[in-house]
Structure 1
């Protein structure tokens, strides 16, 4: 039988979020119902609320979550009731051209639950990133559930579901940072700090944090930044070069996603260096740059989708690193809140007052 639970929705563009009753159906073939234990408040949820992603309201918000599988549908073999899982929005299909070429982290046909969760009046909800986890229980595709070590608290494990994985993966997977590299990260929010943590894990010997906010630069040091640049103090490119022998960094990661920060990343890298764009631009942004500069500098210009991660491969490893004390996921958690506090959490995030507010259910 279907269940009625409490969840947080965005009913219309820029309207305050609402705590409502949501009807969650029993899982069908290939689906799972997960009891949510904790869920991070991500900028993507705010983008849904403000109409920055689409207008398929009402949205069931939340997606950075961990919890316990309660029930599974027919044909599900990878997870079972009682499994402790982190939810992901990349349930790879195994059949698209990327998957068949052995590159499932680029899967072009990721899938979600086929059934819809609804309001009591039957109105269908659009779950954020196909998950919808500001809720007591949610319905997802079973492939969106990744089993991890149950000794890791849900408040930190769930963060791998989006922002932290995006940043870590931008450094380790997309940027291929390796031992001895110099790395610069532009934008030191949750994604940028995760990129810094990833660069540290990979063995970079110089990690430069860049931001407009001195508070965020201090936070970046906690994740492994060896040097900081306050962007408002002068020319960012010159500052990066000044810290890298005049050459520029081997890898520069743009965790902001604006034309001006991408140009700083492009010109702030060494010859044949790598630029990684992981910050998400809006559809109106345009970039102009001399083509001869792209040719003349060589190297790689990359975009990082979800940190180019494969959840089944990356989530368990990162949780193990956390449990070994080598990945400080707990430092991303600025506060723990209730479902009723999400609107105020959005305001704090928008003002840059927190890295992550985490809803605990």
Structure 2
């Protein structure tokens, strides 16, 4: 039987979000209804509100979430009612050319729920990243539910659903950071700080955090950066070279998504080093580099989408590290808030004084 719950809706571009009653249908084949316990406020949600993703308003926002499966539809075997799960937006199909080649983290046909959640008047909602978790309950594809250790805090665990996983994966998966490597991270927001943590987990010898805000650099240092560079005061390329014996870093992770910082990343890496773009650019941005430099420096220029993660592999492993005290996910939770505080959290996001505000139900 369909249920009515409260959720955070963005009705039009730039308008403040508001809480409205939404209808959750019973799960159909391959679907699950999840009772949400916590959901992080991610910059992507703000992009949706501002019309920066698409114009399929109204949106049901929220996607960095953990909760408990309440019910499942026909044919669902991977999760069952009562399972504690992290929601993901990369439910792999197992059948596309990437999956069949053993690269499911690149899946080209990821799944979402077929049915739509609606407003009380029947208006269909577009769930953010196919999840829509700023709500007491949400409907997703069962493959979007990844079962993890139920002892993990929902506020911390849910952050693996997007931003923290993106940063960790940029270092661990895309960048393939190894023991003894030198790593530079440009941009120390939530994703960049997670990349710092990922580099530390991988055993990097030098981790250089770069940002224009000293406050952010101090946070990065607490999370594992060995050196910091304020690029408002110092040329970051020269500073990174100085800190790496004049060579440049083995891996440079760009977590801003801007042409200027990407150029800095390109020239701050060692010959045959790796640049990883995990910051999200806007459609109008253009990059210009001398092609001879691209050719002559060798190495790899990579983009990291969701940290090239495979949720079924990475989420349980990272939660195990969290439970062992080796991955401090709690450090990313700046504040816990209520469902009615999401608009204020967007404002705090602009000021740059939070890693994550997390809605707790």
TM range, smaller chain: over 0.9
C-alpha distance in 1 between matches for 2:33 and 2:218: 40
Match of 2:310 in 1: 310
- TM-score between the two structures when normalised by the length of structure 2: 1.00
5 Å-filtered alignment, 1:62-211, equals 62-211=62-211
User: In the alignment, is residue 26 of structure 1 matched against residue 26 of structure 2?
Assistant: yes
C-alpha distance in 1 between matches for 2:350 and 2:50: 12
Q: Secondary structure at the match of 1:232?
A: coil
C-alpha distance in 2 between matches for 1:326 and 1:178: 17
C-alpha distance in 2 between matches for 1:223 and 1:260: 26
C-alpha distance in 2 between matches for 1:155 and 1:137: 16
**CA distances 1:21-69 after superposition (whole Å, capped 9, x unpaired):** 0000000000000000000000000000011111100000000000000
Aligned residues: 361
C-alpha distance in 1 between matches for 2:293 and 2:199: 27
C-alpha distance in 2 between matches for 1:54 and 1:360: 27
- The alpha-carbon deviation at position 235 of structure 1 amounts to 1.1
Q: Secondary structure at the match of 2:345?
A: helix
Task: Please list every run of at least 4 consecutive aligned residues from structure 1 whose deviation after the TM superposition is greater than 4 angstroms.
Answer: none
- The alpha-carbon deviation at position 221 of structure 1 amounts to 1.0
User: In the alignment, is residue 10 of structure 1 matched against residue 10 of structure 2?
Assistant: yes
C-alpha distance in 1 between matches for 2:347 and 2:225: 27
C-alpha distance in 2 between matches for 1:128 and 1:284: 22
Instruction: Give the gaps of 5 or more residues in structure 2.
Output: none
**CA distances 1:252-278 after superposition (whole Å, capped 9, x unpaired):** 000001000100000000000000000
User: In the alignment, is residue 235 of structure 1 matched against residue 261 of structure 2?
Assistant: no
C-alpha distance in 2 between matches for 1:48 and 1:145: 22
User: In the alignment, is residue 263 of structure 1 matched against residue 263 of structure 2?
Assistant: yes
Q: Secondary structure at the match of 2:232?
A: helix
Q: Secondary structure at the match of 2:275?
A: strand
User: In the alignment, is residue 348 of structure 1 matched against residue 348 of structure 2?
Assistant: yes
CA RMSD in angstroms, aligned pairs only: 0.4
- The alpha-carbon deviation at position 353 of structure 1 amounts to 1.1
**CA distances 1:113-165 after superposition (whole Å, capped 9, x unpaired):** 00000001000000000000000000000000000000001000000000000
User: In the alignment, is residue 294 of structure 1 matched against residue 294 of structure 2?
Assistant: yes
- The alpha-carbon deviation at position 111 of structure 1 amounts to 1.1
- The alpha-carbon deviation at position 234 of structure 1 amounts to 2.2
- TM-score between the two structures when normalised by the length of structure 1: 1.00
Instruction: Give the gaps of 5 or more residues in structure 1.
Output: none
C-alpha distance in 2 between matches for 1:270 and 1:191: 23
Match of 2:280 in 1: 280
- The alpha-carbon deviation at position 20 of structure 1 amounts to 0.3
